[in-house]
Each structure stands twice: as C-alpha cells, then as structure tokens.
Structure 1
Amino acid sequence: MKLIKAEEIEFFYILPEDDLIKEETTLINSLVIPESQNWYNRRLKGFASKQLIEIIQNGTDTRLAILGINIRPPLKDNYDAYQTHCLFWTNKNINLKELDQKIKDDSYTDEDFHSAVIAHVQYAYCRHCRNKYIALVCDDDIYTFLYIPIAVAKHVSFREYSDKKLDMIEIGRCPNCNELIGIYVARFFDKVEDGN
C-alpha cells in the first residue's frame, strides 16, 4: 500500500501483493459502504467476501484504494474518514502490472489515472425481471466529497471534475433482460439467488 496523489486526489493505492484482509480489516470491510438512494439498489448486507476483494485487488482493470473523505457531522468539527473504494479503468488497454511498478518507482502520472473511476460494490436490482446482482457501481457521491474543496479553491464548479468521470460509465443494463437499471454499473459480478 502506498500513499500517492493523482488527479489532485491523495489516496492509498493498494498493490496486489498487499495482504489487506489481515492488515486493514476494518477498512476493507467498508468496501460495501454507501447506501444507494434507490431502495432496490442497496448495499450488500454484511461485508464483501474475501474472494471478491481478491478479484478486485488483482483485476486487469481494477485496484483497491483507501480515500480520505472530509466529513462534516452535525455539532462537531470536520474530520477525515477513510473508506475503501475500487478504482475501475474504463480503458481496456491499461496494463495495471506496469502501473503497479510505476507506483512503486514513483514514476506514475495523472495520465495513468485519466480513465479510472471510483466505484464500490453493491446490489443492483432490475425492476423489470426482478433479478438481483452483486455489481461494481460508479460512486457519484464520492466525487462530491473529493472535488468540492478543489473546485472551491480554483473557483470552478466541482461538476467539471465529477461529470467527466461519470461520463466514462454508462447507466447499467440488466444482464438478463437488457433493461436499464438506473445506476452507473462498471461490472456485474454474480446473480444473487432469492433469500440473500
């Protein structure tokens, strides 16, 4: 795991060889954090499985990252909360093994992260055929937390930052019936059987 800064965001980049299940259990278990505004497309009950975490950590187009989010709770001062998210590269020509080495050598650039979007694992529910899937979903709320301070400092709209990232992912279509699901799905993993 290495602290880096890319596209003006500082975060911990998690390398495939990092044993995060042992080292950072609490943060890794938060991989399935945000509740969706859409009641059906809600977070997983419990934590992501070790197997799913390893698939994401070792993917050809995914890596894990720990981001610091500045939180403003009621009646308290601001504080940083750390959350684990997934980086998903929309450019299929990316070689993440080469990027891992660049991270280790401190030779990476912003261009290496240009096609990466921040995502999290959650349920994706199709209202048409009623199937439910475990999916990797683009996290549009995180861009608000990350880019508002940068946008304010530069006197620009944070939407300039967030919209360019969200435009890289299309609204998901159900793998079964091809109807729109209504959320930005980067990848579907597994269909969830009834009762889960």
Structure 2
Amino acid sequence: MRPLTDEETRVFFEKLSKFIGENIKLLIDRSDGPYCFRLHKDRVYYMSEEVLRKAAVIDKDSLISIGTCFGKFTKTKKFHLHITALEYLAPYAQYKIWVKPSVEQQFLYGNHIMKSGLGRITENTSQYQGVVVYNMADLPLGFGVAAKSTAECRHTDPMAIICFHQADIGEYIRNEDTLLG
C-alpha cells in the first residue's frame, strides 16, 4: 500500500472531477477527520488516516483490501471508477440524471439510457460530462457519461441515447461468480 504518484493522482482526480468537480476536497477534509487515497495492487482505496495508521502494521502481502475501493488503474494507466465509490460520490455529484421507473431495471442490467426513459436531467449538463444516475425516488443507481447536453436532450429523438452506462448497483449480482471465485 502506497500513496499515489503525481501522475496517478492527476489521472485519478481528473476522473473524480468529471463527477463531483471541486468537491474532491470535501472527500479529503471531512468533519470526522482527514481521509486519504492509497494504491494497493492497482486499486485506489479511500480510508481515514486513523485506519491507515492501524493498517501500517499489516504486511502488504497479507493485506487484501482496506477502506473503500474507488476503482482501479488499467495496464494502460487509465482509471476506471468502481460502483463501490457511488456512496461517497453521489452526495457531491454536480450533474445528475433521473430515470423513469420503466427504465430503471434496464439501466441496472447494464444498458444505456434512451431519451424515452429520461425523467429529469440537471441543467447545463454538457456532452460527455460524468453524471450520477438516480431513480425518481432519488436513490443513486450508478454512473454514466452524458451522451448529449441538456439543450440537445430537449430536441432529440426518443430513441437516442442520452447517457452511456458505466457502472451500476446491479453489477454485484451480474458479477457475483467472478467476484467470489
């Protein structure tokens, strides 16, 4: 377990800023104490500094996981956000998409969101902006990337893709075999 390098930090924070913008500092300087990000086996973990101090005595080969996994770096050094970060990013999300109940299950199966399933979208969402997807009861369902801006959504075809799927809470069930074995 080690701190992120400058390049890893840049790539990681760029990805986070697509979803929560300047609110990244709110993740680090929290009211319950300072938090940090650490890299272990190409995965970025989020934990309190108190937990970090306690974990320092554990041999790194024996350590499987610590804190909350926010995502992982690929072999090409790109960062992929995992659904486990949703609980921490959703309260700070700048751009949101709400889906209709009829489309909620389709999104949880890993499908993109069409305009016909769009309930609401945050004003001034730009194209290719990271968004947090909610159901109409304000329950966060996952992450996506806006395929169209808010202005384009108003005048587009009902079958046009509005949001590209990235991750959703249904992944726990779909990937159960690969996660356990």
For normalisation by structure 2, the TM-score amounts to 0.32
Higher helix share goes to which structure? 2
For normalisation by structure 1, the TM-score amounts to 0.31
